[in-house]
Amino acid sequence: MDIVKEILKDNRRESLLEGIEVGREEGREEGRREGRRQERLDLARKLLAEGDTAERVAHLTGLSLAEVASLSPQRK
């Protein structure tokens, strides 16, 4: 009976360690996604500052027109 308890204990430990690793990988991926989004937003701000239209910026960055419009003050 002790061997069964040890096996169950080992299985729980392995499951816990696997869950921790999965959580870490998900966190890293989320960080990479957020970093890529931040880069697109930074590029959009630069393009708008250079005078590109919101439509062109949206096309080049993959951001929505609404996202691009929210980055700059009202443009004439």
- Bin 35: left if φ > 0, else alpha if -120 < ψ < 50, else beta: alpha
Q: Is the pLDDT of residue 44 over 60?
A: yes
- Band (76; pLDDT cuts 50, 70, 90): very low
Contact 42, 61 (CB under 8 A): no
Q: What percent of the chain has pLDDT over 90?
A: 74
Q: Where are the domains of the chain?
A: 2-69
- More confident: 12 or 73: 12
- Provide the greatest CA pair distance for the chain: 79
Residue 40 has pLDDT above 50, yes or no: yes
